[in-house]
């Protein structure tokens, strides 16, 4: 291990060099404080032990110790302050400046050796701690979630690159930062003001509370990340100085979108792209609630493609699906923006018509029937549709009876010759 000797007195410096060399150390020798400062900042091979004379030109020993603590080298340097001053007050001044130990001239070689051995043990322990922290930081940086460890006072002691990137701050700059400041940086990247307020509110951890919690929120990160759904969780941890917390910020965008897509598919008819009956029943229930609460009418139109079974038997199911898609697109493009089009089953399509009384609904249904009749689907013959219309009546709490009446009128249209509205 290298030992730096800094002393402007040549005789004293040579005595130190000789003694330290005999102890089995490599010696780097300089004559003033500025040279000592430079030697301790050369890089990984810089000395980790330093014997510094109190009185030197430029930077004296105590000033050099103070600067080493304020602007430390990459690795910790154990310093022994060497001086002819032997009062307890001088010793206090020297140790307060940041020196690790204190040695009075003329030095006793045995005492010097003991001081250096103690320093060597400290340096090795420090190196082991630094190595452990480096291993931990490397491991945490491989986690694809944002991670931060907070001490009992709410200060960040460990943070990985993922979370630092989310917050738009360098990981090194975030260490020592208060939790509230980091969360405010994250909150600034919320998708909107409401989400920002949600972050601020939901991510609060009451003082003294260490219960496990989990919240899902959205962030708008710089491209190419864009809008992301982040799952936050906090768990208590035991630290040497007391209770701290480990917080994780996991990007669950893909998982959430996958679930949403499965839900969307479950509520969407795969052949026509219309809302499925399962999804449609939920929508119809909400339309009834709105109609009853607002006192506005609600009508339904049940459409059935004429002779569709015969068409399927003649041209095949693929052709039947093609016709279903074409009719569905035509209906969807003909209705109003507020209307809801649902594949009710087979070749039946249900159209819910909010704020439309029966008479108005019949006119809309006639427009749909005409559009279907005008449809050209090469190379197949023209198709037509029959439609039954009815309205939610006063006192009805659901559309069940209205749908039955519309279905009855649909079969009436079929019986009267098809391609008509009843």
Query: Is the Cβ–Cβ distance between 383 and 377 less than 8 Å?
Result: yes
Among 39-43, 137-141, 263-267, name the one with the lowest average pLDDT: 137-141
Whether the predicted pLDDT of 196 surpasses 80: no
Strand partners, 5: 29, 51
CA 377 to chain centre: 49
Mutual angle of helices 317-334 and 358-373, in 10-degree steps: 130
Could you check whether 2-137 and 267-415 share the same CATH topology?
no
* Residues sharing a CB contact under 8 Å with residue 207, sequence separation 6 or more, in sequence order: none
Mutual angle of helices 308-315 and 317-334, in 10-degree steps: 140
Q: Residue 148 — left, alpha, or beta (φ > 0 → left; ψ -120 to 50 → alpha)?
A: beta
pLDDT score recorded for residue 202: 61
Ranges of each domain in the chain: 2-137, 143-256, 267-415
**Domain 267-415 class, CATH top level:** alpha beta
Query: Is the Cβ–Cβ distance between 36 and 30 less than 8 Å?
Result: yes
* Topology classification of domain 143-256: Beta-Lactamase (3.30.450)
Q: Hey, is 267 helix, strand or coil?
A: coil
Q: In whole angstroms, how large is the CA radius of gyration of the chain?
A: 40
Say whether pTM exceeds 0.75.
no
Among 99-103, 221-225, 352-356, name the one with the lowest average pLDDT: 221-225
**Domain 2-137 class, CATH top level:** alpha beta
Whether the predicted pLDDT of 88 surpasses 70: yes
CA 26 to each of CA 13, 64, 403: distance values in angstroms, whole numbers, following the listed order: 14, 21, 96
Task: Pick the more confident residue, 234 or 206.
Answer: 234
Any idea which residue has 């603590």 for tokens? 69
pLDDT score recorded for residue 197: 58
Cα-based torsion angle of the residue sequence 387, 391, 392, 393 in order, rounded to the nearest 10 degrees: -140
Cα-based torsion angle of the residue sequence 341, 342, 344, 348 in order, rounded to the nearest 10 degrees: 30
**Three-class SS of 303-350:** EEECCHHHHHHHHCHHHHHHHHHHHHHHHHHHCCCCCEEEEEECCEEE
- Structure token pair of residue 25: 């150390």
Q: Hey, is 24 helix, strand or coil?
A: coil
Condensed to tens digits (0 to 9), the pLDDT of residues 304-318 reads: 999 999 998 899 989
Question: Residue ranges of the alpha helices (H) in 160-276?
Answer: 161-167, 171-174, 179-187, 193-202, 253-266
- Structure token pair of residue 259: 């679930």
pLDDT score recorded for residue 58: 82
């Amino acid at each position: 291990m290298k030992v730096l000797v800094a002393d402007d007195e040549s005789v004293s410096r040579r005595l130190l060099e000789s003694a330290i060399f005999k102890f089995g150390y490599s010696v780097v020798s300089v004559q003033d404080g500025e040279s000592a400062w430079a030697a301790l900042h050369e890089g990984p091979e810089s000395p980790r032990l330093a014997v510094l004379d109190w009185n030197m030109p430029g930077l004296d020993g105590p000033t050099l110790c103070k600067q080493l603590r304020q602007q430390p080298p990459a690795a910790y340097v154990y310093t022994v302050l060497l001086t002819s001053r032997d009062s307890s007050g001088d010793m206090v001044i020297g140790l307060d400046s940041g020196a690790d130990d204190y040695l009075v001239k003329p030095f006793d070689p045995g005492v010097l050796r003991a001081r250096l051995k103690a320093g060597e043990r400290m340096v090795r322990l420090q190196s082991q701690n630094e190595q452990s922290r480096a291993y931990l930081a490397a491991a945490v940086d491989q986690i694809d979630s944002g991670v931060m460890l907070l001490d009992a006072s709410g200060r960040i002691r460990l943070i990985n690159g993922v979370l630092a990137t989310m917050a738009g701050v360098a990981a090194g700059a975030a260490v020592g930062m208060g939790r509230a400041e980091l969360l405010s940086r994250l909150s600034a990247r919320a998708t909107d003001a409401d989400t920002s307020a949600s972050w601020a509110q939901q991510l609060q951890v009451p003082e003294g509370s260490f219960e496990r919690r989990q919240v899902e929120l959205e962030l708008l990160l710089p491209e190419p990340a864009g809008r992301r759904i982040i799952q936050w969780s906090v768990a208590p941890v035991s630290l040497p100085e007391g209770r701290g917390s480990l917080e994780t910020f996991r990007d669950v965008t893909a998982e959430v979108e996958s679930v949403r897509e499965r839900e969307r598919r479950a509520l969407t008819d795969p052949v026509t792209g219309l809302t499925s009956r399962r999804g449609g029943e939920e929508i119809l229930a909400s339309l009834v609630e709105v109609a009853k609460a607002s006192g506005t009418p609600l009508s339904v139109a049940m459409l059935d493609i004429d002779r569709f079974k015969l068409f399927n038997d003649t041209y095949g199911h693929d052709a039947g699906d093609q016709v279903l898609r074409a009719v569905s697109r035509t209906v969807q493009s003909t209705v109003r923006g507020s209307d809801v089009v649902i594949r009710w089953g087979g070749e039946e399509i249900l159209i819910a018509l909010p704020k439309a009384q029966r008479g108005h609904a019949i006119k809309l249904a006639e427009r749909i029937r005409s559009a279907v009749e005008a449809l050209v689907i090469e190379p197949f013959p023209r198709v037509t549709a029959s439609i039954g219309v009815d309205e939610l009546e006063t006192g009805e709490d659901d559309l069940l009876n209205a749908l039955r009446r519309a279905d009855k009128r649909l079969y009436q249209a079929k019986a009267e010759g098809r391609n008509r509205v009843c």
